[in-house]
């Protein structure tokens, strides 16, 4: 089992990564002296595919324990679902000495995390991510929340878990499209670190599609370490943490215009491709560097729907991005390995150029 520490001023926590972590849960709760009144909040697909493993673990548990199953899909990140969780907690007499364990992808993690952050002003939380995306991204860093009036993540809180337990055995049942979605964030991290990780992912991407344990294990470890380092240095996104938004201004506009019918990671890959073209257009990288950096995201097969939305519609969404300041669209761009430019501005012509180039190049 590997360990990475997220070091924060008053709420540091470890991320444990490895195969077979779920069966060690009881011992880990003891070791980290966590509350024994537990509510598992579990994604319905995870419950279905990993029923035996989960049920075995639950039966061996001695304290108070219940399971709340969350319907798969973004719709579950709602007030309605949150209210049901609060009611379930109250009906089953959970108090301040409780612990929520979120077992699922980003949807379950964000919802359960926000429930933990708000129930009785905050109860203990463990994330047990089960998708590649949640293992490398959403379970780390303390962002929790729900959607509101069709707006993503409008209501939420920064709330750090006590532990993040990444059991790589969950990955075996993930469909290929979910792997691709997680790879979007992995690819993002390769631009944030030194060139070694970029080259490793470039060389081993095909093996990741085939669920190669060693390669995926390395992808997860390196990505989680990068995210942990960034979050440790900027817990509430006041500066450095913005580098994690590489490709995301574009990605949100693709997702919104396609009514979230594409996966987040797919949108992120298209967003990174667009951000790279914009980096070249604004003179940050040479034509030669652009070709080199594009060689990784262009390896991934993306939904061709990404070619559909028109520039006006995409630009409109970007203008209303909640990360904008003083009415200006802010981009995260690349100027070299590990060299990220924050709050970059670009005119509409350059942005249109970057998106059109992305559309011409994806396959
Ligand atoms: N909090 C953050 O920092 C942060 C960061 C990035 C994304 N997010 C959020 O995360 C969400 C996306 O997360 P996601 O991509 O994990 O999606 P998800 O939680 O919807 O899971 C994707 C699909 O995989 C299924 N699934 C989960 N684990 C499985 C397994 N082991 N085997 C088979 N199927 C499995 C789920 O039922 C679902 O159908 C979005 O709501 C996004 O806003 C949050």
- Ligand 1 atom with the shortest distance to the CA of 181: 15
Higher pLDDT, 215 or 210: 215
From the candidates 50, 127, 188, 241, give the one annotated as an active-site residue.
Answer: 241
Distance 105 CA to ligand 1 centre (A): 3
In 231-254, which positions are buried (b, 16+ CB within 10 angstroms) versus exposed (e)?
bbeebebeeebbbbbbbbbbbbbb
From the candidates 242, 248, 330, 357, give the one annotated as an active-site residue.
Answer: 248
Is this model's pTM higher than 0.85 or not? yes
Q: Residues near 43 by Cβ (< 8 Å), separated by ≥ 6?
A: 69, 70, 72, 103, 104, 105, 107, 108, 130
Q: Is the pLDDT score of 350 beyond 90?
A: yes
Ligand 1 proximity of 232 Cβ (cutoff 6 Å): no
pLDDT above 90 as % of the chain? 86
- Per the CB < 8 A criterion, the answer to whether 115 and 86 are in contact is yes
- Per the CB < 8 A criterion, the answer to whether 105 and 45 are in contact is no
Ligand 1 proximity of 105 Cβ (cutoff 6 Å): yes
Task: Work out the pLDDT band at 253, boundaries 50, 70, 90.
Answer: very high
Task: Work out the pLDDT band at 194, boundaries 50, 70, 90.
Answer: confident
Distance 178 CA to ligand 1 centre (A): 8
Q: Is the pLDDT score of 209 beyond 80?
A: yes
pLDDT of the residue at 48: 95
- Per the CB < 8 A criterion, the answer to whether 55 and 80 are in contact is no
pLDDT of the residue at 324: 75
pLDDT of the residue at 322: 73
- Per the CB < 8 A criterion, the answer to whether 70 and 104 are in contact is yes
- Category of 131 on φ-ψ map: left (φ > 0), alpha (ψ -120 to 50) or beta: beta
What average pLDDT score do residues 145-156 get?
91
pLDDT of the residue at 58: 79
- Per the CB < 8 A criterion, the answer to whether 125 and 140 are in contact is no
Q: Name the 3-class secondary structure at 66.
A: strand
Ligand 1 proximity of 160 Cβ (cutoff 6 Å): no
pLDDT of the residue at 21: 95
Q: Is the pLDDT score of 43 beyond 90?
A: yes
Active-site annotation holds for 44: no
Task: Work out the pLDDT band at 321, boundaries 50, 70, 90.
Answer: confident
What average pLDDT score do residues 292-317 get?
95
Domains of the chain: 2-173 (3.40.50.1970), 177-361 (1.20.1090.10)
Rg value, the chain, Cα: 20
Q: Is the pLDDT score of 304 beyond 80?
A: yes
Ligand 1 proximity of 77 Cβ (cutoff 6 Å): yes
What average pLDDT score do residues 146-164 get?
93
Between 50-64, 156-170, 188-202, 342-356, the lowest mean confidence (pLDDT) is in 50-64
Ligand 1 proximity of 133 Cβ (cutoff 6 Å): yes
Ligand 1 proximity of 178 Cβ (cutoff 6 Å): yes
**What would the DSSP string read from start to end of 16-39?**
EEESS-GGGHHHHHHHTT--SEEE
Active-site annotation holds for 143: yes
What is the distance, to the nearest Å, from the Cα of residue 154 to the centroid of all Cα atoms in its chain? 16
Distance 116 CA to ligand 1 centre (A): 18
Active-site annotation holds for 121: yes
Ligand 1 proximity of 231 Cβ (cutoff 6 Å): no
Calpha distance 167→330 (Å, rounded):
36
pLDDT of the residue at 320: 84
Residue nearest to atom 12 of ligand 1 (CA): 106
Give the closest residue to 352 by CA, choosing from 253, 255, 256, 227: 253
CA distances in angstroms from 340 to 29, 87, 136, 231, 337, listed in the order given: 39, 45, 20, 16, 8
Q: Residues near 76 by Cβ (< 8 Å), separated by ≥ 6?
A: 70, 107, 108, 111
Task: Work out the pLDDT band at 55, boundaries 50, 70, 90.
Answer: confident
- Per the CB < 8 A criterion, the answer to whether 168 and 213 are in contact is yes
Distance 307 CA to ligand 1 centre (A): 24
Does the CA dihedral 112-70-130-208 come out positive or negative?
A: negative
Q: Name the 3-class secondary structure at 164.
A: strand
Active-site annotation holds for 363: no
Distance 106 CA to ligand 1 centre (A): 4
Question: Mutation test of ligand 1: which of 131, 164, 174, 177 has the most ligand atoms closer than 8 Å to its C-beta?
Answer: 131
pLDDT of the residue at 237: 83
């Amino acid at each position: 089992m590997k360990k990475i520490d997220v070091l924060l001023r008053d709420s540091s926590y470890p991320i444990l990564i490895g195969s077979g972590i779920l069966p060690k849960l009881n011992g880990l709760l003891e070791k980290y002296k966590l509350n024994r009144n537990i509510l598992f909040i579990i994604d319905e697909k995870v419950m279905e595919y990993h029923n035996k493993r989960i049920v075995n673990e639950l039966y061996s548990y001695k304290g108070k324990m219940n399971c709340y199953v969350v319907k798969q899909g973004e719709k579950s990140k709602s007030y309605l679902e949150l209210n049901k969780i609060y009611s379930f907690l109250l009906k089953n007499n959970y108090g301040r000495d409780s612990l929520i364990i979120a077992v699922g992808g980003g949807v379950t993690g964000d919802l359960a995390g926000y429930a933990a952050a708000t129930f009785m002003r905050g109860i203990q939380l463990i994330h047990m991510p089960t998708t590649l995306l949640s293992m490398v991204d959403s379970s780390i860093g303390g962002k929790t929340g729900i959607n509101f009036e069709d707006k993503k993540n409008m209501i939420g809180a920064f709330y750090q878990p006590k532990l993040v337990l990444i059991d790589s055995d969950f990955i075996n049942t993930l469909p290929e499209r979910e792997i691709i979605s997680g790879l979007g964030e992995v690819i993002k991290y390769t631009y944030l670190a030194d060139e070694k990780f970029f080259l490793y992912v470039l060389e081993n991407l095909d093996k990741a599609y085939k669920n190669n344990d060693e390669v995926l294990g390395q992808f997860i470890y390196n990505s989680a370490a990068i995210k942990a380092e960034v979050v440790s240095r900027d817990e509430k996104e006041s500066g450095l943490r913005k580098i994690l938004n590489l490709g995301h201004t574009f990605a949100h506009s693709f997702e919104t215009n396609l009514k979230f019918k594409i996966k987040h990671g797919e949108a992120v890959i298209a967003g990174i491709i667009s951000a790279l073209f914009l980096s070249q257009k604004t003179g940050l990288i040479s034509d030669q560097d652009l070709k080199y950096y594009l060689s990784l995201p262009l390896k991934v097969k993306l939904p061709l729907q990404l070619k559909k939305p028109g520039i006006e519609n995409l630009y409109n969404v970007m203008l209303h991005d909640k990360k904008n300041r003083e009415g200006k669209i802010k981009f995260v761009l690349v100027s070299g390995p590990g060299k990220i430019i924050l709050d970059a501005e670009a005119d509409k012509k350059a942005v249109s150029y970057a998106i059109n180039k992305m559309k011409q190049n994806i396959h």
